[in-house]
Structure 1
Amino acid sequence: MTTALKPVLLLGGSGVVGSRAVAALRRLQPDLPIAIGGRDLARASAVAQRAGNATALKVDLDRADLGAPAGAAFSAVVTLLKDETLNSMKYAQAHGLPYVSFSDYLFEIGPEVALYVQAPTSAPILFLGHALGGAVTVSALHFARELRSIDTLDVAVVVYDDDHGGPAAHADIERGGRVPNTLLRKGGRWIWASGDDAERTVTAADGTEHRGRAYPLLDVVSLAAATDAPNVRLDLVVRSAASRPAGKRPSTEMIFELDGVGAGGEERRVRHEIADDEDLSTLSARGLALAVERLLGLAGGPPVAPGLYNPETILHPADVVQKLEAFGARIARDVRRG
């Protein structure tokens, strides 16, 4: 029962994504206690008051105890901002708590892997540096299961250039943009994409074409490992807000294009789309909320045991897609564009 759980500690829970993650968790688990950790106690307190059954605390990532009060107890630690000390992960391991790493790119997870290797049985560690809090990868696998084998899996996330997150989101985007090349799988080989390999043309759900660029999130390695497809990439498309109908808020699209062999042995090329009228931060928060409730054993099975996980290893694709629809996403299957 959620009432028996200790609070989930959300570090950065008063930020743009964090406050929306609190709202999504509250919708999924009305009785789940939540602790909002932030540098600004007043701001964290305001988020906690709106959520109900929530508390606020001032955190300090430079401290091994995170600045938590003596005797504080939590059910999980979720880090929604870049923790350059990794004290949050060490704290979770020391207390045997599930840990979620939300803000680390593909090129940044080495230190966390090393910490995990030092104490592999201490706690479940979830990498969630995936597009939209893992929702993109898990949705892609939902569609991939309809094919016997996959040769090419091209995924794109389409957002608008005025889809602004908070300071933490801006810092993440700036950090990701510093990497001149990103990893993708091409012809069965892992390559650091540059030049023409780094970009491709993506057709949005309205039929317009845009240039997308490979982005260094963890989706590529997750999808390649799960499908064994020799060609896998994730592209981010940032389209102009001027192309959006007047008065309409920023929205988000996920585009999935798969080439492979169908159940009957026939060659197939399929395209599926998931569109949502909410922005990038809101959808990322929802993906995170789905992962947290699964980690705690509140949906889809018992609490997750100690180990190292990506979202596709703990979440059931069909369940995630169903919950995305319940939140308001629209799914278009077998779409023809162009």
Structure 2
Amino acid sequence: MSTRTMSPVLLIGGSGHVGARAARALRRLHPDLRIAIGGRDGRRAAAVAAEVGGPTTAVTVDVQRSDLGLEPGASFSAIVTLVKDESSNALKRAQADGVPYIAFSDFVSEIGPLVAHYVARPTRAPVLMLGHTFGGTATLAALHLAQELQSVDAIAIAAVVGADDHGGPASSADFERLRQAGEAALVLDDGRWTWLRGEAATRRVVDAGGAAHVGQALPLSDVVSLAAATDARSIRTDMAARDRAAGGAGPRTELIVEVSGRRRDGSGARLRYDIIDADNLSRLSAYGAVIATERLLGLAGGPPVGPGLYNPESVLDPASVIARLEELGARVRRTPA
């Protein structure tokens, strides 16, 4: 199907920090794709739509309403939720319409409702769980490195962000929800699933420039994706903030992916990617959402994805994701860890 005739892609939260960047990236990759910027504030959504340009419209969306507050008869080619879909109304709408759905803001402990809705209607729509570091980009980068190894022992993912980088209101709401729940971080530690809290959840993270930071483990879905895709016995994902006194307030985001294991000749190896973007954490997140969206719709990497429940590694090719990140402007550096 031509992007000119395809129904719009609905970005719920499209006027937010991640959503606006996702819309701009989609427009850059697919100039003729119809995009609907969905937000609670219609004027703000309209402003983003005007900035994005091309066949972009604005719609007012309320995820607390069963009809999402949309006009009767509105149709979309995919529904991408860049905010927490607390009532599962956006998911229900995607299943009713039989179009791809992306869940972007679910922590690893919050996927129960989504899974239950899929199990109840498994043939209705493709449902992608994307509560991963930067929209799945970290998981795919780790798997790209793991392809070089005969066996994988450990995978460590870290995001290093500016001291004042909270990723916008939607991301701040996610972390506030995490704080109120007293959530621990799920890690795989020497073959055992473990929930970490407090000091036990911290680790030392060294960024691309050699500076050390204190990372805090997060309950993101990379750990379960990578445990299922590899034989690693230790997996975790952390976030660290750069020190403000050392220039930590600037708009720079680093994704550090380290994979250790054995090569096919039996020798040990520690491999590392540094993926760097000159913006706050919202843009790398947006890139991940966009790469997943175009894949589900069959706009890149193969035909449209059929109904099913997916993690990003189920539908995306690791090498293609790395190439797409570079095309979008992220700097990718490969070094021994």
State the TM-score bracket (shorter-chain normalisation): over 0.9
Equivalent-residue separation in structure 2 for 1:328 and 1:63 (angstroms)? 37
Kept in 1, the 8 Å contact 2:162–2:250? The answer is no
1:328 shift after superposition: 2.1
Equivalent-residue separation in structure 2 for 1:131 and 1:144 (angstroms)? 17
1:70 shift after superposition: 1.3
Name the SS of the counterpart of 1:147 in structure 2.
Answer: coil
Kept in 1, the 8 Å contact 2:141–2:273? The answer is no
Tell me which of 111, 114, 128 is aligned to 1:112.
Answer: 114
Kept in 2, the 8 Å contact 1:273–1:335? The answer is no
Equivalent-residue separation in structure 2 for 1:258 and 1:29 (angstroms)? 33
Q: Structure 2: which amino acid aligns with 1:208?
A: A
Where do 5+ consecutive residues of structure 2 fail to align?
Answer: none
Equivalent-residue separation in structure 1 for 2:260 and 2:199 (angstroms)? 20
Q: Structure 2: which amino acid aligns with 1:173?
A: F
Equivalent-residue separation in structure 2 for 1:127 and 1:310 (angstroms)? 5
Q: Which residue of 1 aligns with 2:178?
A: 176
Q: Which residue of 1 aligns with 2:33?
A: 32
1:227 shift after superposition: 1.0
1:61 shift after superposition: 1.8
Q: Which residue of 2 aligns with 1:138?
A: 140
Question: Matches of residues 57-206 of structure 1 in structure 2 within 5 Å?
Answer: 57-178=59-180, 179-194=182-197, 197-206=200-209
TM-score, length-normalised on structure 1? 0.95
Equivalent-residue separation in structure 1 for 2:298 and 2:76 (angstroms)? 15
Kept in 1, the 8 Å contact 2:157–2:255? The answer is yes
Kept in 2, the 8 Å contact 1:162–1:250? The answer is no
Equivalent-residue separation in structure 2 for 1:105 and 1:118 (angstroms)? 21
Q: Which residue of 2 aligns with 1:7?
A: 8
1:62 shift after superposition: 2.5
Q: Structure 2: which amino acid aligns with 1:199?
A: T
Q: Which residue of 1 aligns with 2:244?
A: 241
1:197 shift after superposition: 3.8
Indicate the larger mover: 196-205 or 136-145.
196-205
Equivalent-residue separation in structure 2 for 1:241 and 1:190 (angstroms)? 34
Q: Which residue of 2 aligns with 1:276?
A: 277
Question: Matches of residues 194-273 of structure 1 in structure 2 within 5 Å?
Answer: 194=197, 197-244=200-247, 249-273=250-274
Q: Structure 2: which amino acid aligns with 1:68?
A: L
Q: Which residue of 2 aligns with 1:304?
A: 305
Name the SS of the counterpart of 1:274 in structure 2.
Answer: strand
Q: Structure 1: which amino acid aligns with 2:317?
A: H
**CA root-mean-square deviation:** 1.5
Flag as ranges the 4+ runs of structure 1 deviating above 6 A: none
Where do 5+ consecutive residues of structure 1 fail to align?
Answer: none
Q: Structure 2: which amino acid aligns with 1:92?
A: A
1:75 shift after superposition: 0.3
In structure 2, relative to structure 1, the CA distance for the partners of 1:194 and 1:60 (3 Å cut) is: closer
Q: Which residue of 2 aligns with 1:51?
A: 52
Q: Structure 1: which amino acid aligns with 2:28?
A: R
1:122 shift after superposition: 0.5
Describe the superposition over 1:118-177 as per-residue Cα deviations: whole angstroms up to 9, x where unpaired: 001100000111111111111111111111110111111111121243221211122223
In structure 2, relative to structure 1, the CA distance for the partners of 1:316 and 1:40 (3 Å cut) is: same
Aligned-residue identity in percent: 55
Indicate the larger mover: 289-298 or 203-212.
203-212
